[in-house]
Every structure is written in structure tokens, then in C-alpha cells.
């Protein structure tokens, strides 16, 4: 979810349809706690709203959702694809930061997470991708050979989310195949479309990537994520606005009386009732405590508590409620309800690094929105009249490559040997789950069928370093798609509203470092190859004299950024491996608590994660309905 765009400081010209105040939007906590909810959902974000909407399809089921953020359906910063005023803005963002990262020269790194109805689907970069088939099939194997979590098992849920519109603007050589059409969904709540505008950079950049051997992917959502596709995005082609879970799943159901959403309220504790059944203790969640307006309230769940607070906040809530590692909990004076030490462990994200290059005069980029008032005025007028043009731009180039595609065979052998040595030396410290994960990751690397390094190109400056004057730039990003580094997120005190200690583990693996160094070196090779080189004047950040592996490594450590795809902190896996939830998303040792957010994904996927989280939520709703016969 690394975000690119032009700030729209006074976007009052955006025409949006003002929605009526929904009956299910509750602003009064006193009335909310009087409700008798069958299912209580913590978090009205990407996954929580989906589960809520699907459960509420049964009018006899009462569903309550508690969200810390606000409902902002008419906010141009969210709706306009090129709006970016939500970055680092507490109106929309949890404002989290990592602990100092050794691999990033001890820098603390800002981590964007959506604090708004719709969650991070409201503030991401609008790139809509599924992962590789092998990602989900490995997940299925980790869970215990459960085919329902394989690529084929999840495909119906990926499609259920979507209302797909075919592309109207394509790269040279692009064709819309029957497979391309059939792998997408129609009639779903999230609008999926493609770019209606490209800059002068997009086509030569894409053509060069293909000619360098990285390939043209004609059907990326069919399970093959290698090569450079025509990139889908969650933008509604009818109005040029972001399509996310709030307008997709929440707004259409304003008539429902059996779904209540409380905003501006932060859940601070899960309440449990433990009962002995034979020789075993059964732990039941009875409800939660939450804060609103400085006052603490309690609300009950009759059937289940569903956690959808996200991979960084759900572990925090569990730990502060007594579920986690007893050693940590006891050190903070928290009574241990359930010994589950892997809560908050296994944190993974896509680390990335941005380089930028000066563009020759006469070529159009998004920088014109910054320094050319005529261009900006024309873009505004076009957006108002046709819902198209530069203000709807989202990255059109995001390709994946096996490492073998960008390094020599001898370099590949050397890197794999270094990785094997690193894994062997660290094996005493690896968890059982990591050992299984690394086996899958090592095979994916050597097979060379899955993209392990990703490349994103954005035709604008100001990301790697400040843009200057009337200059135009292109930003080229290298991403580690299957990092070996692991981190964690844990509480450090009893304050449920404080940020947890988030160690994202960036570049904690030497192999991850070397992979990104190779990616950054390829960035420069790419821009120096025709036809891309015909629009690129030369390197800007880092400067042209940064060429040695040592210098590139230092640049990487000083400029590493998050992709903001955190997952895995409440992993779905057998408990003996270190899993937190089973294949039906229930927390081991708790009778009526499920997790439906990105924390359950056990291994990183070769893509952005919002589509996967949406598919999980759709599947979760079906699982819950089946388990409760509703």
C-alpha cells in the first residue's frame, strides 16, 4: 500500500453523491450497548464490513460493528485516485511506526494503516492484484492440505468480490482473452477497472521491460503473477472514484435494521467467561469493552466475537485481554487467559526502495499537476466532466520477475548458496512454522516460476527525494515479494490506545538485502535501455555515481520503505507449528472467537493484499453461516 499521488489541497470541485445518514450508523454508545447482537465485529475496515454485510443478509441475525475511525463517504482525499492528503493524517490513519530497524540503519519507519470505515482499503494505492497460484497452494499445504484455501478454493471468493469492467486503454500487443474475462467476477460490490489515461512514460517503460525478457502477462489474475500485466485497479469507471468496502458493502445496505455500526469507538478489551467442561477449561468471549468520548462501555456478543482490527491491532487486543505469551503478559501484570505464544509473531511485509530518474523535456508526466496550473485546471475539468484523465491515474506498471530473470546464472547460484547458509546458521532460532515456510520459499526461488522481485513505475517525482522546479521524473520501485525476514508486534504496557512495539524485520535477512540490491541495479539498467532510455535523461536519486554494491546497499538501508502489506501475526496453521487460528478461522483455545483480517495469512503473497483480504472475508462469512446454520 505504498501510496503515490498528487495532494489535492482544495478538492471542493469534486462532484459526489451525498449519502443520507444511514439508519445502521450509530453515534450513540448508550443505544449501541443496549442492542442484543448475535455477532459482534471489532473493526469496520476491509474485512469487517464484508463479514458484517454478508451475515446481515439474514434479517433474523443481529450484527454489531465497532470502528475506531469515522464514516467519510464524501471525502475527496479518499475518493479521488490522485488524492493523498490522508498520508500521515490522523483523520484517516492510525499513525503507527516501527521500532528502530537494524537493517534500515536503525530508522523507525512510518506504517500507514487505515483508521476509517473501510479501513486500509480506503487509503491504499488502488492496485488490484491476486497473488500467484503457488502462494495460496503453499498456504493450503501449511494449513494441513486443506484445498479450500488453495488458489482454486479461493477463486470463487475472489470473483464474488468483483464487478469487473474490461480495459479500454491497453498496451501494444495487449489482448483480452476469454480466460482473462472468465477469471474475473461480475456483479460484486467492488468495482474493478483499468487505466483510462497514461502518461508519455508508461508505454516505453512497459515495452522495455518486455524486451528485457521480463515478459508480458496477459492474464495475471489466473494464478500466474510473473511478467508485466495491464494492471487492474479498484476504481469505479462510472464516476472515477475509489471503490472500497465502505461504498461497496456498507452503503448499499442502508435499509437494513439488523446491522449497527458504531464509529469513533476503540475496543480496549475482550471479556471472557471460562467454564470447566470435564478436564478442560472452555474460554468463551462474552463481549468487549470500548472507549468513546473518554467513557468506557461494555457490549455483549450472544454467539461470536469476530476480530477484524488488522494484523497490527488484533494481536494488541488479544494480548491486552490475556491471550498470548504468558511470559509477556505476566511481565505486564496481565492475567493469562490462554497460553498462545505465537500471537503477534510471524509478521511479514513487502520491503521496497524507490529510485527516481529525470525525464527529458517534452514528455508528459504527473509532475505537470504540481507545476503546470493549466494542466491541473484541464485535469480538474476533465475529471468533473468525464470522470477520467490524470486525476484518475493509478500505477499501470507493476510487474513481477523471478530473480533468475535479472541476475546471471552464476550470481543466482551464489545467492542461493548464501541463503542456504543463512537458513542453516539460523535454524536453531527458527520457529516450526518458519522452517515449513522457508522450505516452500526456497523451492519457489529455485523453481523460478513465481515473481520474487517486483517493479513498480510511477511517472512522478518527489517520492525518493524532493522534486525541483519544473522538472519531470519517473519513480522506479524495487520490491521484495517473498522476504525471508520476520518480525513481530507486541504490547509494551497496559494502555490499549497506545501503539504496540512493531518490529517489521526489514532486511533482517541478508538474502532480502541482496535481492533488493539486485532489484535497484536492474532499475538503472531498465532506464538505460531503449525505448525507456529515450524519455529518461538520467539518474536523479541516487545520483549516477552510486554504482557499487556497497554504495547501493547503503542507499537501500537509508531509504527503505514499507509497502504496508503487514500480515501473518495470527497465522492460520496447525497449533503445533505455531498457528493461532485453524482453517475455520477460530482461535485455538477460544470457543467463539474468529479472526478474519490479514493476520491469518500465514505466508506472504506475490501481490498487494487487499483482494486476498476481501476473499478471506467473503469465505469467512460463508464459514460462519455454515457453522451456525444460518
> Which residues belong to the active site?
565
Q: Does 47 belong to an annotated binding site?
A: yes
Burial (Cβ within 10 Å: 0-12, 13-18, ≥19) of residue 494: exposed
607 with 225: CB under 8 angstroms?
Answer: yes
**Residue given cell 536503525 in the structure block:** 106
Structural element, H or E, at residue 97 = strand 96-97
C-alpha cell of 103?
A: 537493517
- CA 429, CA 509: separation in Å to the nearest integer? 13
| 555-127-581 Cα angle (round to 5) | 90
| Sequence-distant (≥ 6) Cβ neighbours of residue 371 within 8 angstroms | 469, 470
Q: How far is CA 252 from the centre of its chain?
A: 24
Q: How many residues does the chain have?
A: 630
Q: What is the DSSP letter of 167?
A: -
Burial (Cβ within 10 Å: 0-12, 13-18, ≥19) of residue 294: exposed
3-state secondary structure 223-281: CCCCEEECCCECEECCCCEECCHHHHHHHHHCCCCCEEEECCCEEEEEEEEEEEECCEE
For 322: left if phi > 0, alpha if psi spans -120 to 50, otherwise beta; the answer is left
Torsion of CA 613, 618, 621, 627, to 10 degrees: -100
- CA 108, CA 97: separation in Å to the nearest integer? 6
DSSP letters along 390-435, please? GGG----EEEEE-GGGTS-HHHHHHHHHHHHHHHHHHGGG--HHHH
C-alpha cell of 423?
A: 537458513
SS3 content of the chain, % helix, strand, coil (to 5): 35, 20, 45
- Phi, psi torsion values for 511, nearest 5 degrees: -65, -40
Q: Does 124 belong to an annotated binding site?
A: yes
Angstrom CA distances, 561 to 112, 274, 522, stand at: 11, 43, 18
Q: What is the DSSP letter of 487?
A: B
| Gyration radius (Cα) of the chain, Å | 24
Q: Does 104 belong to an annotated binding site?
A: no
Q: Does 346 belong to an annotated binding site?
A: no
Compute how many other C-beta atoms are within 10 angstroms of the C-beta atom of residue 302: 13
Residues belonging to the binding site are: 46-47, 124-127, 267
Instruction: Pick out the residues of the known binding site for FAD.
Output: 46-47, 124-127, 267
Amino acid at each position: 500500500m505504498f501510496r503515490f499521488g498528487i495532494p489535492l489541497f482544495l478538492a471542493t470541485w469534486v462532484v459526489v453523491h451525498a449519502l443520507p445518514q444511514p439508519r445502521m450508523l450509530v453515534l450513540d454508545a448508550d443505544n449501541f450497548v443496549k442492542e442484543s447482537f448475535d455477532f459482534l465485529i471489532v473493526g469496520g475496515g476491509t474485512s469487517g464490513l464484508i463479514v458484517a454485510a454478508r451475515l446481515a443478509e439474514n434479517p433474523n441475525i443481529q450484527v454489531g460493528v465497532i470502528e475506531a475511525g469515522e464514516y467519510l463517504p464524501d471525502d475527496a482525499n479518499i475518493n479521488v485516485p490522485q488524492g493523498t492528503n490522508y498520508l500521515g493524517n490522523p483523520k484517516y490513519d492510525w499513525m503507527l511506526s516501527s521500532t528502530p530497524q537494524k537493517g534500515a540503519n536503525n530508522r523507525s519507519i512510518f506504517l500507514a494503516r487505515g483508521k476509517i470505515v473501510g479501513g486500509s482499503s480506503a487509503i491504499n494505492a488502488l492496485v488490484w492484484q491476486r497473488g500467484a497460484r503457488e502462494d495460496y497452494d503453499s498456504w493450503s499445504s501449511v494449513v494441513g492440505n486443506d484445498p479450500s484455501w488453495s488458489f482454486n478454493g479461493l477463486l470463487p471468493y475472489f470473483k464474488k468480490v468483483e464487478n469487473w469492467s474490461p480495459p479500454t486503454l491497453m498496451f501494444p500487443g495487449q489482448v483480452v482473452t476469454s480466460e482473462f474475462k472468465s477469471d474475473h467476477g461480475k456483479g460484486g460490490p467492488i468495482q474493478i477497472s483499468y487505466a483510462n489515461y497514461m502518461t508519455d512514460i508508461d508505454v516505453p517503460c512497459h515495452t522495455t521491460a518486455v524486451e528485457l525478457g521480463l515478459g508480458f502477462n496477459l492474464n495475471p489474475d489466473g494464478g500466474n503473477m510473473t511478467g508485466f500485466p495491464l494492471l487492474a485497479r479498484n476504481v469505479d469507471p462510472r464516476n472515477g472514484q475509489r471503490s472500497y468496502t465502505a461504498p461497496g458493502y456498507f452503503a448499499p445496505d442502508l435499509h437494513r435494521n439488523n446491522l449497527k455500526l458504531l464509529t469513533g469507538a476503540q475496543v480496549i478489551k475482550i471479556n471472557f467467561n471460562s467454564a470447566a467442561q470435564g478436564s478442560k477449561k472452555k474460554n468463551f468471549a462474552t463481549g468487549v469493552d470500548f472507549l468513546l468520548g473518554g467513557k468506557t462501555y461494555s457490549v455483549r456478543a450472544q454467539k461470536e466475537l469476530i476480530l477484524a482490527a488488522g494484523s497490527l491491532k488484533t494481536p494488541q487486543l488479544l494480548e491486552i485481554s490475556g491471550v498470548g505469551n504468558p511470559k509477556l503478559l505476566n511481565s505486564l501484570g496481565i492475567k493469562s487467559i490462554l497460553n498462545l505464544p505465537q500471537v503477534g509473531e510471524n509478521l511479514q511485509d513487502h520491503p521496497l526502495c524507490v529510485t527516481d530518474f529525470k525525464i527529458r523535456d517534452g514528455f508528459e508526466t504527473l509532475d505537470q499537476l504540481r507545476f503546470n496550473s493549466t494542466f491541473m485546471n484541464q485535469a480538474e475539468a476533465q475529471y468533473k466532466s468525464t470522470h477520467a484523465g490524470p486525476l484518475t491515474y493509478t500505477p499501470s506498471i507493476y510487474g513481477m520477475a523471478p530473480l533468475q530473470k535479472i541476475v546471471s546464472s552464476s550470481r543466482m547460484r551464489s545467492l542461493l548458496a548464501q541463503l542456504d547458509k543463512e537458513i542453516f546458521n539460523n535454524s536453531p532460532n527458527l520457529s516450526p512454522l518458519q522452517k515449513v515456510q522457508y522450505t516452500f520459499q526456497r523451492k519457489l526461488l529455485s523453481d523460478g516460476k513465481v515473481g520474487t522481485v517486483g517493479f513498480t513505475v510511477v511517472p512522478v517525482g518527489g517520492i525518493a527525494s524532493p522534486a525541483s522546479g519544473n522538472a519531470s521524473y519517473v519513480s522506479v520501485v524495487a520490491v521484495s515479494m517473498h522476504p525471508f525476514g520476520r518480525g513481530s508486534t507486541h504490547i509494551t504496557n497496559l494502555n490499549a490506545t497506545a501503539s504496540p512495539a512493531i518490529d517489521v524485520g526489514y532486511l533482517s535477512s541478508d538474502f532480502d538485502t541482496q535481492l533488493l540490491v539486485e532489484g535497484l541495479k536492474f532499475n538503472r539498467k531498465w532506464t538505460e535501455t531503449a525505448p525507456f532510455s529515450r524519455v529518461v535523461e538520467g539518474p536523479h536519486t541516487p545520483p549516477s555515481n552510486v554504482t557499487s554494491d556497497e554504495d547501493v546497499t547503503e542507499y537501500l538501508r537509508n531509504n527503505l520503505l514499507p509497502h504496508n502489506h503487514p500480515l501473518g501475526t495470527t497465522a492460520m496453521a496447525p497449533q503445533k507449528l505455531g498457528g493461532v487460528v485453524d482453517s475455520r478461522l477460530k482461535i485455538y483455545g477460544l470457543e467463539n472467537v474468529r479472526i478474519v483480517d490479514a493476520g491469518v495469512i500465514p505466508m506472504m503473497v506475490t501481490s498487494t493484499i487487499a483482494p486476498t483480504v476481501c476473499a478471506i472475508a467473503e469465505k469467512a462469512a460463508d464459514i460462519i453461516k455454515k457453522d451456525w446454520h444460518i
